[in-house]
Amino acid sequence: MMKTTKRGRPFLKDTLDLFATLITSMELTTHKQYFRSFPNSFTTDDACECLSCLKFSQSNRSADPRDPERIITTTTTTTFSMTREMAKAMSQHFMDARLIENAIDKTANQFKDRAVYQLTPKGLHVLERFISKNGVNADGLVKVFQSQPICMKLLHLERRASDDEIIISQQVVTALFRRFVGRAPNYVEEIENQDPAIEYNQRSAGIPLTDVIERAPQLIGKGPLQTFKYCFLAVNALEWLCDFTSIVGRDEAAEMAAHFVRFGLITLLSDKRKTSDSAVIFTVRGTATGPNAAAAAQGEFRCTAKAIYRITDEGRKVARWTEDRVSSETNDSAARATELAFGPGTGAHVPSTLEHATDQQIRQRLSAEEKLKAEPNGTDKPVQQKESNTDRLKFILDEPALRSLFREFLRGNFCEENLSFWLEVQEFKRKFLITSSAMSSSRTGRNAPQHAAMEKHHESLIHMAFVIYNTYLAPSSPCELNIDHGLRNDLVAYLGEVMTESTGKAFQGRVDPEQVYSLNATQLQHMIRLYEKIQLHVFRLMATDSVPKFIKTKRFLALRNWVEDYEASENDNIITPGGYGPASPPGLEGDTEIGGAYMTISHQANEKAAAAAKEKLARQARGEP
């Protein structure tokens, strides 16, 4: 039984998990309606049929505490069963959270019968994180991630574990507002029939703004017309908050917008609705104390089609539009380091359902970035040189743009196989540790074997293990690694022992396709340990030999600037309880639940952005516009 909030919706964690489980269990195909085709879509009937009996199984492998050489596999299966009406109600929650949208009318807010639906960029972001975290086989979704826009940066607001409400504090409102308005005013030119992907990317930089000619609010019907800058429609603000943050539904978005008003960050410019038209006004209350002199005890936000708001002087100050960001980042390094070190809190109030970026991870990224900036010419402390190259390599491997450029560099030096092997072993280890599958019993049949998907996954792991061996480690393999002789002998000796025992034939140095399904989990883990030793050897080789040469190249130095700018925008909204005190709403005075916010980055979208940045640099190098 899923827990529900006072608003009547399921908790956010359950909503996201059930949505991702549903999508991974369905086959997204092309549907036609009103003489139009919609690729990677599903119908109302598809969703209701899958939700009528949906199973999610997850297997975790770990070493036996009593015998480290033995592998224990723990499998947990969760079953969801819903009537058609319940399934439609759940799908409506998916729409409210902006995970799916009506393919024909993207402005529609109701989940209807006989309709076609597609995933939103936010839904793809959530789906990608679920697949990565749970080890789900997503081969069938590759075309979806490649062909549709994905939300690159999704801001998560921490929630109370008891009722799933957002924990409100001035830090949280500030982080949300900075993400909402962007690092600079986002004036977007309106173009008819614009590509939805381009329009979405423009919106991702911040709420689209416009200038409005209007009389001052206090001079109704009097006074000269004035031009007010940094204005936006109230309804656009609600849509933006639902699209680019973890906010669920327009009502929750309106409440957060009302807090913008309460803290003096935005103000109502005009609302020219007819007197007969109804208006939905959300009101929030809180204490007026704190460092923000513009904070009030109450804030209202009008959710009408004609309501126009503008960003105030206080809002522009909080957004840091008036600051010289370059100078700030150079001269205020201590404050910058403190901000980058922020992360979500670790108290009991932190939702255990969302994947957090820890303080240690953020500090490690800062440390790596600083080391990337260090000149490899001996000006650094000599005792740190070797460690510095190791940290540089970790940072390069973690950044898609730099990793792609590093691969090109290695290819030019005839050692690309080192990076390919390291990455494939990383993926192999990840898939080994956790395995998940989602299926609908209505599609597979109720008598289908419960663990058939797990067995298939295990077979694919064995196949992957031997593909790695035949590609990089077997004698005369196409991408044979230049590694220590002892490491290769240890692996060949173990494979010879295992293959001879299972097939009765002498091991000839390569693995035939018909032999690949003969290993059990314990034997597979031993292979992973041998692979890890080789992987460590390859990592050290790249760090000591390739990285010092790579970081001197002009293309690396140019691309590093793009990465650093991206890192700065990513970490702007990572906060944790602390700093200046919260302005708590009634009932939370003295409470320890201060809240926080953190950003998650889509790997798929990051890869696309990295490729675009690399292509731009290449065009500039060729002198093209």
Q: What are the DSSP calls for 505-569, one per residue?
A: S---SS--GGGTT---HHHHHHHHHHHHHHHHHHHHHIIIIIHHHHTTSHHHHHHHHHHHHHHHH
> Domain 155-287+296-319 classified CATH 3.40.50.10790?
no
Output the CA–CA distances (angstroms, integers) from residue 20 to 24, 138, 405, 417, in the order listed.
Answer: 6, 11, 32, 35
Tens of pLDDT, residue by residue over 456-496, are 777 788 888 888 998 999 888 889 998 888 998 899 888 88
Tens of pLDDT, residue by residue over 287-328, are 765 566 667 888 999 998 889 999 999 999 999 886 554 334
Q: Residue 566 contacts by C-beta under 8 Å, 6 or more apart in sequence?
A: 609
* Closest C-alpha to 128, from 142, 118, 115, 111: 142
Q: Look at residue 541 in the predicted model and tell me its pLDDT.
A: 93
Task: Name the residue with tokens 């109302």.
Answer: 44
Q: Look at residue 276 in the predicted model and tell me its pLDDT.
A: 65
Q: Look at residue 349 in the predicted model and tell me its pLDDT.
A: 31
> Domain 389-438+451-563 classified CATH 1.10.167.10?
yes
**Domain boundaries along the sequence of the chain:** 1-151, 155-287+296-319, 389-438+451-563
Q: What distance lies between CA 558 and its chain's CA centroid?
A: 25
b/e map 4-14, b = 16+ CB within 10 Å: eeeeebbbbbb
Assess contact for 271 and 307: CB atoms under 8 A.
Answer: yes
Give the three-class secondary structure for 576. Answer: coil
Query: What are the strands, taking DSSP E only, across 28-84?
Result: 29-33, 36-43, 54-63, 71-80
Torsion on CA atoms 282, 288, 291, 293, rounded to nearest 10: 80
Cβ atoms within 10 Å, residue 514:
8
Q: Could you give the CA distance from residue 613 to residue 625 in angstroms, rounded to a whole number? A: 14
| Helix, strand, coil share (%) of the chain residues, nearest 5 | 50, 15, 35
Say yes or no: do domains 155-287+296-319 and 389-438+451-563 share a fold.
no
Q: Look at residue 427 in the predicted model and tell me its pLDDT.
A: 87
Q: Look at residue 292 in the predicted model and tell me its pLDDT.
A: 61
Q: Look at residue 525 in the predicted model and tell me its pLDDT.
A: 84
Please compute, for residue 615, the number of CA atoms within 13 A of its CA located in the half-sphere on the CB side: 6
Q: Look at residue 301 in the predicted model and tell me its pLDDT.
A: 95
- Domain 1-151 carries which CATH code? 1.10.10
Residues lower than pLDDT 70 in the chain = 1, 59-61, 68-69, 71, 217-222, 275-277, 288-294, 322-387, 435-454, 512-518, 560-594, 614, 625
Give the three-class secondary structure for 161. Answer: coil
Return left, alpha or beta for 8; rule: phi > 0 is left, psi -120 to 50 is alpha, else beta.
left
Can you give the pTM of this predicted structure?
0.71
CB-based burial label for 280 (10 Å; 0-12, 13-18, 19+): exposed
Q: Look at residue 618 in the predicted model and tell me its pLDDT.
A: 74
Task: Name the residue with tokens 């040469």.
Answer: 549
